[in-house]
Structure 1
Amino acid sequence: MAALLHGEEKEAPPDDSVVVTEAVEMNVVTSAPGTVLDTVNAKYTEDEYRRVLKKIDRILLPLMWLCYGTQQADKTAVSTQATFGMISDIRLVGQQLSWLTTAFYIAYLVGEPPGNYLMQRFSVNKILFICMFCWGVVVLCIAFVQDFAQTVALRSLQGLFECTISPAFLLITASFYISQEHTMRSIIWTTANSGFDIIAQLVMYGIGNAAKRHGSAFGSWRWISIFLGSWTILLSFVALIFVGTPNEVRWLSKKEKHIVATRVANNQTGSDGHHSWCWDQVQDAFKDPQTYFFFFTVIAAGIPFGGTAAFGNLVFVSFGFTNLETIVKGIIPLDLLTIAWLLLGGFWSLKKPQTRFYLMIASTIPSFIGLLTLGLLPKEGLLWTRWGLYLMMATGRLPATLIWTLLPSNVAGRTKKSVTSAIIFIAVCIGNAIGSQTFRAEWAPRYVPALVICGIMYAAQGILFVLWRLHYVSQNRRRAKKVAELGMTPEESEYQGKINGESDITDWQNIHFRYNL
């Protein structure tokens, strides 16, 4: 699939005139370094661009898919383990099962800012490897816990180490691909949430069932942790060799790395490279309204995702399915429908640029209707009606993915990207932590109030998406008007915007930058 995806590149007219950086709130005059002009003015053929893009897709995307899917499987394994005796074996009571997820996200939140800082200052590749290896060891250790205290401590460590993978992958996507390609490529590696989950669920069921049949005293859910932890440790070494930003990977030649940088210059968000920490970009991030749209929308998206990820298996069991039926007739169909909807959204965004917000708004509607209606059904019966309504939630997973694609497309400046990324994942932690606590023990086994709350959160997302898009449209019109007042042609403005982006100027300061919709 990856080999079929090709972005279109537009060449800006070469111009070696004096470089002037126009800021939205200030005027700054700078001289562009020679390396910047070298990247902006470089000329390569379409065949060269296409060949490098195919190579990147062929090597990078499958590995990102595997790594991201493994992270998701490790993170949500407690939902499946709960159906294989974990609750009774370590004597979980009340909200303790919820706290295993909440503790994970609290630690994730704590680790997010320093994790982003480390990736800004050092190698994304090395930091990613260290964290993957460490959380693999932690998952392995969960197999030997004896009580809630030990389990929640290890889940907290797991969250602390897992916090780097999503921001790392966003930085990698931004450094390899142009804006038009961000949506589809991000969707491909995030389909691992559902695609790898299908594989992991079947493997976990096979492990758990085999352990039960052979009367293993070790506990079937413990073997699941052994499998997941060992696999993660092995995969961390594969990531060390192959996954990183263009300047870090060894499978690109020097010329191919320059081709990548030349393509990415079109984004006006800056190409790969380690920059010093810029405190003015930190201030810029907190002044920018889009930062707050990211924050509150991601919280609204995280509440239903965090809750249903931790308790989805138990919800299907409450409908009347057995453990095996929950996986085969519940989780796998939900994952397959999610993948289909994600890919449909990705291909739509390739064919119809500037439609991401329309897709996000449309995707929240079925999920809102399905979960709200589910809460209004009678207490008994209607198994397949409940099944169908719960599966409508699959469309609501697309917006959470598309929100992420707005970061590499619409946030410029390496430090600002890191800060905004940290804010986004702090919001992820808050939303998921709240979501897991929404499923109260006293509402078991059907969790109707929790499902209704999740449905309302989808409606809140839809409203925020409408306001967010209006903000971007307003900004683009204001900037176009200012550029026209300067007497610059669209071509001149685009060329200057590339130089500003490669000079590590933020989107808020760069009047030539246009927000992708």
Structure 2
Amino acid sequence: MSTDQVQAEDKKSPAVEMATMEKQNSIEVGEVSEISEQDIVAAEGEYTEEQYKQLRRKIDRYLLPLMWLCYGIQQTDKTALGTQATFGLREDTGLHGQQYSWLTTVFYLVYMIFEFPSNIVLQRYKMGKILSCYMICWGVVVLCIGFAQNFTHLVVLRALQGLFECCISPGFILVVGSWYKTREHASRSLVFQSANAGFGIISSLALYGIGKRGAKNPDSEPWRWMSYFLGTMTILVGVACLFLLGTPSEVKWLSPEEKRMANARIVGNNTGHDRTGVKKWQWKQVRECLIDPCFWFAGINAFLSSLPNGGLTTFAHIINTSFGFTNLQVILLDIPRSAFSVLYFVAVGLITSRKTGLRLFFMIGSTIPPFVGFLGMAFIPNNPSMKWTKWGMYFMTVPYVISLFLAWSLIPSNTAGRTKRTFTSSFTFVGYCVGNMAGSQIFKAKDAPYYIPGVIGCAVCFGLEFAVLVCWRIVLVLRNRRLDKAIANDGLTEEERTLRAKKMGEEDKTDFENPYFRYTL
């Protein structure tokens, strides 16, 4: 398209504005998904900055507390097995050898198998309702774990739990992308992901109370009551999500006009709105993923970060008791670790929302302390006088999740095209699942209770992840430099380039197909 054609389009703007006003007046509840791409682009300039700020505050008020609670419950449900293991789960169900490790492996194996189909379901149907139903189902499964009597019961229930939890994290990433501007992706993602630690404080206190009561009456099998508590809470929150969670076109707490404004607010992301590309799966975008180095970086990074995560979530409580702490002390010692994690999340979220180009720097830097911490846990002598030093090494592993969570936030920021974004998200979570499965298996029963080979393996992963993240940032920097060179002599104004980029985003073009797409660092 030439500059003259762009000017001709600008002359049509009064007619477009008139059509937009007529369209706006005819909008009814439930019709927001049918708003045209042209209308969404034209609508962006119809609202004031103050109106957008008021809408953002409303979105934050409804979505962020709900997503924080959902994500926190999911993480607690998923990792409570480690706490339950120190309160008699292994003994009461007759687990032996690697059977305990397989409870984590089968969870992530089923998680991985159903990851891709679940993401297609999220793309095709109402995301909020699908996520809510999945959450209620996994709550029922967690509740049933409290009734398990043997390995067969546990392995079947953990498989079902993996099936129903597989779409929560990728679903939330797509939700963030459908509501927030690119610059807001990291901070909003980190808000709900901080529940990984923040809700952990609440759950640790609750599980401590259950465990302490059980210590007075060992026959009460406190690990079962932990499942009853967590399962019931999950079901209740899932029911609440049925009424509150969703994308702009789905939720009931926005007026039709606010839904239109919500879609117009993110048009500058150049990735389309929440209904862009939902009706058609585009295989050409899948093929584009396979030749995009960043697609592979995302998956490899997820694997390398998740392998230590799989080991920690399954064996951290057991390893900490090997330092010389009791099972109740280990629960309490998780609280300062979780508190620091929340503060770190908040700091990173605030900084990345105010200054651009820092996400990958934080991701790279966050691999260094856990690398040192795991080596310390492996090589510092195991004796009572060193237990606090070894716990300090364990404390140093806190930042590692930033490398994974910020990478998730890069998916909606740097991946345009609905199918490409969905496929990238699915592949990333396949890496996440495979890493967690491998992490639970490198901690061998014969190495108990210190698991030194597994701990060293985790340190090696962080060293490799550091190298992957450096390469990832170099690729994105080179792409942006290539963009700067291309637009330097294209004869277009900044406004013309911005308009073209927005239109291509609404047409479901990928970041490769959109010559004006700039990558977030």
The TM-score with structure 2 as length reference comes to: 0.91
Amino acid at match of 2:490: L
For the 8 Å contact 1:120–1:277, the answer to whether it is kept is: no
Task: Confirm or deny that 1:295 pairs with 2:299.
Answer: yes
For the 8 Å contact 1:98–1:437, the answer to whether it is kept is: yes
| Greater shift in the superposed pair: 466-475 or 341-350 | 341-350
1:351 CA displacement: 2.5
1:214 CA displacement: 4.2
Matches of 2:354 and 2:460, distance apart in 1 = 31
RMSD: 1.8
Alignment CA distance shift 1:18-1:416 (3 Å):
farther
Task: Confirm or deny that 1:409 pairs with 2:413.
Answer: yes
Give CA-to-partner distance per residue, 1:153-190, whole Å, 9 cap, x none.
11001001100101110110000000000000000000
| Greater shift in the superposed pair: 85-94 or 199-208 | 199-208
For the 8 Å contact 1:371–1:390, the answer to whether it is kept is: yes
1:15 CA displacement: 8.3
Matches of 1:349 and 1:423, distance apart in 2 = 25
Matches of 1:259 and 1:92, distance apart in 2 = 55
1:14 CA displacement: 10
Q: Which residue of 2 aligns with 1:235?
A: 237
- Consecutive unaligned residues in structure 1, runs of 5 or more: 1-12, 20-32
Amino acid at match of 2:133: I
Matches of 2:513 and 2:442, distance apart in 1 = 40
Q: How many residues align?
A: 490
1:426 to 417, 430, 435: 430
Alignment partner of 1:321: what SS? coil
1:452 CA displacement: 1.6
Amino acid at match of 1:323: N
For the 8 Å contact 1:372–1:456, the answer to whether it is kept is: no
Q: Which residue of 1 aligns with 2:188?
A: 185
Task: Confirm or deny that 1:511 pairs with 2:515.
Answer: yes
Alignment CA distance shift 1:288-1:194 (3 Å):
same
Alignment CA distance shift 1:276-1:449 (3 Å):
same
1:244 to 243, 246, 257: 246
Q: Which residue of 2 aligns with 1:10?
A: none
The residue correspondences of 1:312-351 to structure 2 (distance < 5 A) are: 312-329=316-333, 331-351=334-354
Matches of 2:474 and 2:175, distance apart in 1 = 29
Alignment CA distance shift 1:285-1:504 (3 Å):
same
Matches of 2:504 and 2:195, distance apart in 1 = 35
The TM-score with structure 1 as length reference comes to: 0.92
Q: Which residue of 1 aligns with 2:467?
A: 463
**Displaced runs of 4 or more, over 2 A:** 13-19, 211-217, 479-491
1:239 CA displacement: 0.6
Q: Which residue of 2 aligns with 1:9?
A: none
1:18 CA displacement: 10
Task: Confirm or deny that 1:197 pairs with 2:190.
Answer: no
The residue correspondences of 1:88-127 to structure 2 (distance < 5 A) are: 88-127=91-130
- Consecutive unaligned residues in structure 2, runs of 5 or more: 1-5, 13-33
1:131 CA displacement: 0.8
Matches of 2:9 and 2:234, distance apart in 1 = 50
Task: Confirm or deny that 1:149 pairs with 2:148.
Answer: no
2:449 to 439, 445, 450: 445
Alignment CA distance shift 1:84-1:183 (3 Å):
same
Give CA-to-partner distance per residue, 1:324-370, whole Å, 9 cap, x none.
211112x1122111111111111111232111111111111111112
2:88 to 64, 80, 85: 85
2:483 to 455, 479, 482: 479
Task: Confirm or deny that 1:254 pairs with 2:256.
Answer: yes
Amino acid at match of 1:254: P
The residue correspondences of 1:481-500 to structure 2 (distance < 5 A) are: 481-500=485-504
Alignment partner of 2:36: what SS? helix
1:212 CA displacement: 3.9
For the 8 Å contact 2:129–2:245, the answer to whether it is kept is: no
Matches of 1:264 and 1:122, distance apart in 2 = 21
Alignment CA distance shift 1:177-1:34 (3 Å):
closer
1:34 CA displacement: 8.0
1:45 CA displacement: 0.6
Alignment CA distance shift 1:373-1:214 (3 Å):
closer
1:485 CA displacement: 4.4
Matches of 1:364 and 1:301, distance apart in 2 = 9
1:377 CA displacement: 1.1
The residue correspondences of 1:155-174 to structure 2 (distance < 5 A) are: 155-174=158-177
Q: Which residue of 2 aligns with 1:280?
A: 284
Alignment partner of 1:382: what SS? helix
1:455 CA displacement: 1.4
Alignment partner of 1:511: what SS? coil
Alignment CA distance shift 1:17-1:45 (3 Å):
closer
Matches of 1:376 and 1:75, distance apart in 2 = 29
Matches of 2:496 and 2:35, distance apart in 1 = 19
Matches of 1:455 and 1:230, distance apart in 2 = 37
Alignment partner of 1:271: what SS? coil
Amino acid at match of 1:449: P
1:281 CA displacement: 1.6
Alignment partner of 1:16: what SS? helix
